[in-house]
């Protein structure tokens, strides 16, 4: 048992939380209240006495970035034993895709299209984190991300509001469980409210401009879904939206989140985002910024120190009513009570010692496996038959890069825990297959060609070359945006040289975002997109390559052919002049002195057409899946009625496999222009070799609802088209009428 736990028997845990909050609040001084609204960066170790003294005076309510259990417990002891009212500290940490056991980056988790798995991953992270003393994570990040230049796309679930909502809720359930006070639960935080993913040109922290209808129909729905599912906290964004930074945006925070949706949990600013209102040019100084943030509804100041500096003066001068402060503080206290911190405030590292739990690694393995997306597989290159392969060359900078396969935001994950593809290949096939390893480049950014001849030789002398390319972890994530999203360094050249020398080339790309890889495709026989797959990426990848399991991942985001196509996403509007295939003469085929209208007058790029490289929802398998027999049980949907859409999914191959069947909808005419397709339902199904299964989706009028021209929410009568498919670009189609 942890040495700290014994001293603290439960203190009135049966009294209703609201009574306990009010009791405590009635005893607090203004300074103690303001302390509760302060989150302080505690990353400086060892803990300075002054820090402990502040905690003891009740001036710090929450800390961030400290996960040493002994240090956390020492700080907690100061709060609980030395401060006048013994209010425990709330300890926050970015536990984004695992704590010690690292799962794929969230974008990779989205590629699994498997909410149960996303829930399990978050559960593992919650129990590892809580036992080390963390009570609160800043995830899930549910920003709709349609720009792969933006480094933070790695942290997102991609471009679709529905997929993001479903997976966001699953992650929230995994973190929070049924009871926040359980020793394996932590509070989750939906972020960044709202619109951050629309940062102009994909450059981090940049301005966003999102029209009101688009905000309601695309960017807000995941937040609404998580509020409805019981998210404990929400974080506001750094970015400004339509001229008002989110952290000062009373219309959105106080108006939409609090009043329209009834969210009564804790709202925290992003890191120093209140102080940054001055830099945005919205507030003349920090004192004014504090008024803006309090008015907008921000309860806690993350790492900015500006509430501490100015709130007391504002209360004294009457600019802020103390009752407002009480409201803010009561949300912090309520969360602390809900987390059971008054009963058990301490880290209990012995409860879930990291990496002793086999199930954590199994979940990380399964998550990696299901996140891989097979983008190309000419002539059934994959799976490799182990009995036919005598030699393999592992080439590329990411074949044995334990840190790089973990991805962004891995504060507590360790490279030494990673199993790389090279290590996994050696462990499983080392005695039967000759394995040669030539990185070819020292990092993904390396431009030197000096190892190319060795790489070519290894490829030439092996039955198969497995080339592991992509981006190092540091090239995506916060503040790591790119303008050119092709393979960095000399990786494309390396691939060309290896492909020319080898009999069979299998390329694996690990990256934090979609990359523009059109020019690389001809230089490989098979291509797997592996995102940053985490601790167990290596074994999962090797098992997939050798057909122990078949790939089932599907893209959660569109892959552009070029940066110039961005933004490109499947659920775009039709426009008044949608692309017409016959009109699309590309730049090299245009006749000299062609007439102004000779290329038609529709929406496409002369040099890239209008289609992406790979559409949303796309991903191949070793199994051959076909959909057939689409049936709708009614042609007309009436109020309080549903339509059943059924389809047959056949696997006509000798491989067992899973795929995700997707149902898309289009509202043909409405009071505002609607997307050409919107994902409404999906189901991931496993099908045995040479067999078939029936899938039924149910659509209700509420599935057809959207924010209309008059700003109300609901469906509109008329014609609807549907597609059932395995990606956003094709599929079986049908139609029905909504008569309400």
Taking residue 380's Cβ as centre, other Cβ atoms within 10 Å add up to: 11
Q: Give me the least distance between CB of 91 and ligand BGC, in Å please.
A: 13
* Residue 523 makes contact with ligand BGC by CB under 6 A: no
Name the residue nearer to ligand BGC (CB basis): 63 or 425: 63
Name the residue nearer to ligand BGC (CB basis): 54 or 192: 192
Both structure tokens of 333: 């206290």
Q: Give me the least distance between CB of 180 and ligand BGC, in Å please.
A: 19
> How many separate helices (H) and strands (E) can be counted in the chain?
18, 26
* Residue 666 makes contact with ligand BGC by CB under 6 A: no
- State how beta strands 706-707 and 90-93 pair: unpaired
CB 274 within 8 A of CB 287: no
Taking residue 120's Cβ as centre, other Cβ atoms within 10 Å add up to: 21
* Residue 128 makes contact with ligand BGC by CB under 6 A: no
CB 619 within 8 A of CB 113: no
Q: Give me the least distance between CB of 114 and ligand BGC, in Å please.
A: 24
CB 476 within 8 A of CB 492: no
* Residue 173 makes contact with ligand BGC by CB under 6 A: no
Q: How far apart are CA 529 and CA 526, in angstroms?
A: 10
Q: Rounded to whole angstroms, what are the CA distances from 131 to 40, 67, 530, 600?
A: 21, 10, 30, 64
Residues 6 or more apart in contact with residue 576 via CB below 8 angstroms: none
Helix (H) or strand (E) holding 49: helix 49-56
* Residue 191 makes contact with ligand BGC by CB under 6 A: yes
For Cα atoms 445, 449, 453, give the angle at the middle one, nearest 5 degrees.
135
Name the residue nearer to ligand BGC (CB basis): 252 or 490: 252
* Residue 97 makes contact with ligand BGC by CB under 6 A: no
Which residue intervals of 583-739 are DSSP H helices? none
Give the interface size with ligand BGC as a residue count (CB under 6 A).
6
Q: Give me the least distance between CB of 155 and ligand BGC, in Å please.
A: 8
Q: Give me the least distance between CB of 174 and ligand BGC, in Å please.
A: 18
Q: Give me the least distance between CB of 134 and ligand BGC, in Å please.
A: 12
Residue 270 annotated in active site? yes
Name the residue nearer to ligand BGC (CB basis): 477 or 731: 477
Q: How far apart are CA 552 and CA 622, in angstroms?
A: 9
Q: Give me the least distance between CB of 139 and ligand BGC, in Å please.
A: 8
Name the residue nearer to ligand BGC (CB basis): 196 or 531: 196
Q: How far apart are CA 333 and CA 327, in angstroms?
A: 10
Q: Give me the least distance between CB of 109 and ligand BGC, in Å please.
A: 17
Catalytic residue among 270, 299, 520, 703: 270
Report how far Cα 591 is from the mean position of its chain's Cα atoms.
46
- Which residues are registered as beta bridge partners of 625? 651
Q: Which of 157, 146, 177 is nearest to 96 (CA)?
A: 157
Q: How far apart are CA 449 and CA 467, in angstroms?
A: 16
* Residue 41 makes contact with ligand BGC by CB under 6 A: no
**SS3 call for 707:** strand
Name the residue nearer to ligand BGC (CB basis): 478 or 624: 478
* Residue 94 makes contact with ligand BGC by CB under 6 A: yes
- State how beta strands 62-64 and 38-41 pair: parallel
Q: Give me the least distance between CB of 96 and ligand BGC, in Å please.
A: 8
Q: Which of residues 400-429 bind ligand BGC (CB under 6 A)?
A: none
Helix then strand then coil, % of the chain, to nearest 5: 35, 20, 45
Q: Which of residues 452-481 bind ligand BGC (CB under 6 A)?
A: 478
Residue span 223-262 as binding mask against ligand BGC, x where in contact by CB under 6 A, dash where not: ----------------------------------------
Q: Which residue is nearest to ligand BGC (CB)?
A: 138
Q: Give me the least distance between CB of 530 and ligand BGC, in Å please.
A: 24
Of these, 270, 608, 667, 678, which contacts ligand BGC (CB under 6 A)? 270
Q: How far apart are CA 39 and CA 60, in angstroms?
A: 7
Of these, 4, 99, 136, 138, which contacts ligand BGC (CB under 6 A)? 138
**DSSP codes joined into one string, 139-195:** --B------TTSGGGGGS--S-HHHHHHHHHHHHHHHH-S-TTSTT--B-EEEEETT
* Residue 301 makes contact with ligand BGC by CB under 6 A: no
For Cα atoms 721, 722, 724, give the angle at the middle one, nearest 5 degrees.
160
Name the residue nearer to ligand BGC (CB basis): 138 or 157: 138
- Which residues are registered as beta bridge partners of 733? 723
Name the residue nearer to ligand BGC (CB basis): 94 or 472: 94
Name the residue nearer to ligand BGC (CB basis): 94 or 400: 94
Q: Give me the least distance between CB of 30 and ligand BGC, in Å please.
A: 27
Of these, 99, 271, 559, 707, which contacts ligand BGC (CB under 6 A)? 271
CB 373 within 8 A of CB 554: yes
Q: How far apart are CA 472 and CA 488, in angstroms?
A: 10
Both structure tokens of 90: 């709330």
* Residue 135 makes contact with ligand BGC by CB under 6 A: no
**DSSP codes joined into one string, 508-543:** EEE-SS----GGGGGG-SEEEE-----TTHHHHHHH
Name the residue nearer to ligand BGC (CB basis): 93 or 426: 93
Name the residue nearer to ligand BGC (CB basis): 92 or 715: 92
CB 655 within 8 A of CB 644: no
Active site residues: 270
Chain residues that interact with ligand BGC, rule: CB under 6 A: 94, 138, 191, 270-271, 478
């Amino acid at each position: 048992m942890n040495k700290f736990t014994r001293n603290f028997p439960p203190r009135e845990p049966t009294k209703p939380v609201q009574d306990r909050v009010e009791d405590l609040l009635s005893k607090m001084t203004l300074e103690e209240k303001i302390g509760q609204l302060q989150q302080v960066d505690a990353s400086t170790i060892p803990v300075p006495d002054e820090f402990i003294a502040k905690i003891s005076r009740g001036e710090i309510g929450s800390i961030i970035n400290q996960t040493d259990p002994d240090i956390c417990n020492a700080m907690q002891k100061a709060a609980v034993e030395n401060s006048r009212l013994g209010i425990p500290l709330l300890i926050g940490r970015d536990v984004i895709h695992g704590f010690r056991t690292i799962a794929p980056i969230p974008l990779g988790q989205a590629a699994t299209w498997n909410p149960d798995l996303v829930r399990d991953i978050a559960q593992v992270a919650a129990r590892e984190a809580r036992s080390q003393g963390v009570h609160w994570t800043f995830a899930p990040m549910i920003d709709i991300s349609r720009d792969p230049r933006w480094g933070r796309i790695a942290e997102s679930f991609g471009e679709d509001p529905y997929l993001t909502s479903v997976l966001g809720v699953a992650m929230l359930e995994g973190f929070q469980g049924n009871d926040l006070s359980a020793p394996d639960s932590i509070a989750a935080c939906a972020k960044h409210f709202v619109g951050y993913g629309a940062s102009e040109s994909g450059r981090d922290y940049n301005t966003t401009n999102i029209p009101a209808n688009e905000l309601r129909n695309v960017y807000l729905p995941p937040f609404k879904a998580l509020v409805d599912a019981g998210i404990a906290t929400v974080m506001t964004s750094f970015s400004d939206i339509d001229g008002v930074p989110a952290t000062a945006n009373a219309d959105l925070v106080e108006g939409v989140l609090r009043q329209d949706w009834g969210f009564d949990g804790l709202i925290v600013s992003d890191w120093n985002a209140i102080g940054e209102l001055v830099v945005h040019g919205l507030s003349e100084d920090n004192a004014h910024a504090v008024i803006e943030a309090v008015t907008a509804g921000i309860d806690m100041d993350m790492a900015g120190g500006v509430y501490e500096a100015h709130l007391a003066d504002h209360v004294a001068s009457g600019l802020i009513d103390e009752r407002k402060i009480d409201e803010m503080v009561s949300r912090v206290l309520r969360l602390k009570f809900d987390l059971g911190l008054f009963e058990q405030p301490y880290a209990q590292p012995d409860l879930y010692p990291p990496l002793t739990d086999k199930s954590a690694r199994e979940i990380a393995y399964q998550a990696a496996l299901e996140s891989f997306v097979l983008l190309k597989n000419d002539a059934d290159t994959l799976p490799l038959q182990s009995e036919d392969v005598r030699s393999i060359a592992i080439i590329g900078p990411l074949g044995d890069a334990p840190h790089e396969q973990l991805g962004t935001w891995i504060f507590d994950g360790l490279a030494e825990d990673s199993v790389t593809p090279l290590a996994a290949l050696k462990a499983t096939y080392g005695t039967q297959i000759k394995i040669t390893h030539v990185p070819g480049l020292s990092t993904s950014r390396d431009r030197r060609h000096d190892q190319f001849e060795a790489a070519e030789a290894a490829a030439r002398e092996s039955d198969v070359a497995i080339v592991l390319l992509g981006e190092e972890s540091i090239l995506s994530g916060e503040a790591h945006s790119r303008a050119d999203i092709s393979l960095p360094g000399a990786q494309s050249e390396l691939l060309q040289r290896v492909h020319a020398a080898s009999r069979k080339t299998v390329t694996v790309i690990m990256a934090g975002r979609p990359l523009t890889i059109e020019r690389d495709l001809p230089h490989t026989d098979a291509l797997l997109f592996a995102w940053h797959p985490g601790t167990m990426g290596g074994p999962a990848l090797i098992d997939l390559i050798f057909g122990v399991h078949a790939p089932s991942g599907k893209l959660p985001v569109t892959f552009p052919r070029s940066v110039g196509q961005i933004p490109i996403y499947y659920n775009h509007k039709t426009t008044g002049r949608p692309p017409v295939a016959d009109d699309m003469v590309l730049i090299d085929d245009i006749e000299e002195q062609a007439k102004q209208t000779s290329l038609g007058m529709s929406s496409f790029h002369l040099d890239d057409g209008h289609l992406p490289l790979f559409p949303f929802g796309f991903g191949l398998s070793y199994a051959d899946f076909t959909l057939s027999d689409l049936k709708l049980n009614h042609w007309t949907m009436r109020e309080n009625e549903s339509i059943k859409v059924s389809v047959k999914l056949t696997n006509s191959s000798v491989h067992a496999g899973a795929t995700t069947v997707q149902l898309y909808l289009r509202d043909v005419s409405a009071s505002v222009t609607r997307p050409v397709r919107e994902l409404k339902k999906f189901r991931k199904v496993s099908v045995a070799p040479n067999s078939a299964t029936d899938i039924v989706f149910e659509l209700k009028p509420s599935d057809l609802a959207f924010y209309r021209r008059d700003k109300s929410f609901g469906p509109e009568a008329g014609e609807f088209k549907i597609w059932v498919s395995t990606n956003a670009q094709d599929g079986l189609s049908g139609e029905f009428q909504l008569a309400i």
